[in-house]
């Protein structure tokens, strides 16, 4: 029994809300919305598993702030005029057994699949470089100042809607190469105006979004930010930049910074870098979190590569308030309960070792998404799914969803 582990102790957030334990389900895009880009029966079934998994907090997969700019097929969007009944039901299910419900909100910027036929906006018109896979992505258009203000308003309106629907908070996605990361990184932001250049300018959009959400939502509404510790690409957003951004977020009363890393081009969130730096085999970003922890009072959470209780405990002992887990909770949604009965129980994180790193990374995602779909259909999970078959099934599912969403 390990219920007396620090992992199962409560934590009071700066906004005054108490989280019952330190184990958090991190965001995973489920790609299984109902028609109209709304949550529906498949998502409700899936989140029931996590609701009963004895987690402190459950963060939804990224919800788009603009339904014309989606990260992928089968995504969820919540805009100013979206009816919120289906979101109310989603929040209620997540909270039904004591976990807090946080909605992750996001804008893809240039990371938009061409097949989605949506808007691909970016701080500068620099396309994604995914080698031979680049042609799958739309060519981005450089944003005008009006576009930037529109995106800021959209984040704020989505947060207000999430609050109305009963979510306890939002997590602003400023990691993994999406729009806010594109502003933060000098590799993707070559602007000469107040939105580019110094880190203060590159962080301006994120800071404006956070301060406006803080101003319009209740004092007890949780505001989290998911931030890259670095881009893991030469010349990109680096750890010093991350420290500067965190100090600004602290001044705004952000409740938790979730540390991750990378982008589609350099998927460090899966443990792979593109600048020859090596990450730990488990808890990839813990070293960054430890350094950051000495410089800030914001509660930190680190996500990436965590599947064992001993590693999760080390994360908290080393100074992180929370332990984020994604893949392991797709394979074992009740992992937090299992650890209470068997401390040595190990979760699963798929690791496909194909030579083509991009395909390998896609296969890893496909294996996880296959588990999510199985849970959404109330089927048992498969502990060792075949990567190629998972990739094929995923492609079929995404094609079907793309057809439904854009009529392609």
Ligand X SMILES: Cc1cc2nc3c(=O)[nH]c(=O)nc-3n(C[C@H](O)[C@H](O)[C@H](O)COP(=O)(O)O)c2cc1C
Q: How far is the CB of 151 from ligand X (least distance, A)?
A: 17
Q: How far is the CB of 197 from ligand X (least distance, A)?
A: 27
The correct pick among 22, 110, 173, 373 for binding ligand X (CB under 6 A) is 173
Of the two residues 192 and 210, which places its CB atom closer to ligand X in the complex?
210
Q: How far is the CB of 219 from ligand X (least distance, A)?
A: 25
Does 61 help bind ligand X (rule: CB under 6 A)?
Answer: yes
The correct pick among 109, 177, 305, 385 for binding ligand X (CB under 6 A) is 305
Q: How far is the CB of 71 from ligand X (least distance, A)?
A: 7
The correct pick among 5, 21, 26, 302 for binding ligand X (CB under 6 A) is 26
- Which positions from 84 through 123 interact with ligand X, judged by CB under 6 A? 104
The correct pick among 107, 308, 369, 397 for binding ligand X (CB under 6 A) is 369
Q: How far is the CB of 258 from ligand X (least distance, A)?
A: 8
Q: How far is the CB of 302 from ligand X (least distance, A)?
A: 9
Does 306 help bind ligand X (rule: CB under 6 A)?
Answer: yes
From residue 28 to residue 47, the character string flagging contacts with ligand X as x (rule: CB under 6 A) and all else as - is: xx------------------
SS3 letters for the chain? Answer: CCCCCHHHCCEECCCCCEECCCEEECCCCCCCCECCCECCHHHHHHHHHHHCCCCCEEECCCEECCCCCCCCCCCEECCCCCCCHHHHHHHHHHHCCCCEEEEEEECCCCCCEHHHCCCCEECCCCCCCCHHHHHHECCCEECCHHHHHHHHHHHHHHHHHHHHCCCCEEEEEECCCCHHHHHHCCCCCCCCCCCCCCHHHHCHHHHHHHHHHHHHCCCCCEEEEEEECCCCCCCCCCHHHHHHHHHHHHHCCCCEEEEECCCCCCCHHHCCCCCCCCCCCCCCCHHHHHHHHCCCCCCEEEECCCCEHHHHHHHHHCCCCEEEECHHHHHCCCHHHHHHHCCCCECCCCCCCCCCHHHHHHHHHHHHHHHHHHHHCCCCCCCCCCHHHHHHHHHHHHHHHHHHHHCC
The correct pick among 327, 340, 361, 402 for binding ligand X (CB under 6 A) is 327
Does 325 help bind ligand X (rule: CB under 6 A)?
Answer: yes
Only one of the segments 14-22, 238-246, 322-330, 383-391 lies at the binding site for ligand X (rule: CB under 6 A); that segment is 322-330
Write out the residues near ligand X by the rule CB under 6 A: 26-29, 61-62, 104, 173, 175-176, 226, 260, 269, 303-306, 325-328, 349, 365, 368-369
């Amino acid at each position: 029994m390990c219920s007396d582990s620090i992992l199962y102790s409560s934590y009071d957030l700066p906004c005054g809300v108490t989280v019952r334990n330190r184990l958090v389900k991190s965001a995973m895009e489920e790609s299984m919305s109902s028609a109209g880009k709304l949550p529906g029966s498949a998502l409700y079934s899936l989140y029931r598993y996590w609701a009963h998994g004895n987690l402190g907090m459950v963060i939804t997969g990224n919800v788009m702030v603009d339904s014309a700019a989606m990260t992928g097929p089968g995504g969820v969007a919540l805009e100013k005029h979206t009816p919120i009944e289906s979101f109310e039901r989603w929040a209620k299910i997540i909270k039904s057994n004591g976990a807090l419900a946080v909605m992750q909100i996001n804008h893809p910027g240039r990371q938009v699949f061409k097949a989605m036929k949506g808007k691909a906006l970016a701080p500068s018109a620099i396309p994604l470089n995914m080698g031979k896979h680049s042609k799958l992505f739309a060519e981005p258009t450089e944003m005008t100042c009006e576009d930037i203000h529109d995106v800021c308003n959209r984040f704020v309106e989505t947060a207000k809607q999430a609050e109305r629907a009963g979510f306890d908070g939002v997590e602003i996605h400023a990691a993994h190469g999406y729009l806010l990361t594109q502003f933060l990184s000098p590799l993707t932001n070559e602007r000469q105006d107040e939105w580019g250049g110094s880190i203060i300018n590159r962080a301006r959009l994120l800071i404006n979004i956070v301060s406006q959400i803080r101003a319009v939502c209740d004092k007890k509404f949780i505001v989290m930010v998911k931030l890259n510790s670095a881009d893991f690409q030469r010349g990109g957003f680096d750890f010093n930049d991350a420290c500067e951004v965190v100090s600004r977020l602290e001044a705004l009363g952000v409740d938790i910074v979730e540390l991750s890393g990378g982008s589609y081009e350099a998927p460090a969130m899966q443990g792979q870098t593109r600048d020859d730096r090596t990450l730990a085999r488990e808890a990839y970003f813990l070293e960054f979190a430890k350094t950051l922890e000495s410089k800030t009072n914001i509660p930190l959470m680190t996500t990436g590569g965590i599947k064992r209780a001993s590693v999760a405990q080390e994360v908290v002992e080393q100074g992180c308030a929370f332990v984020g887990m994604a893949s392991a909770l797709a394979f074992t949604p009740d992992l937090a309960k299992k650890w209470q009965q068997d401390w040595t129980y190990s979760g699963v994180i798929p690791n496909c070792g194909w030579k083509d790193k991009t395909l390998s990374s896609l296969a890893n995602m496909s294996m996880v998404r296959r588990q999510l779909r199985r849970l959404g259909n109330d089927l048992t999970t498969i502990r060792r799914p075949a990567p190629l078959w998972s990739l094929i099934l995923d492609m079929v599912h995404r094609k079907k969803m793309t057809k439904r969403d854009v009529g392609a």
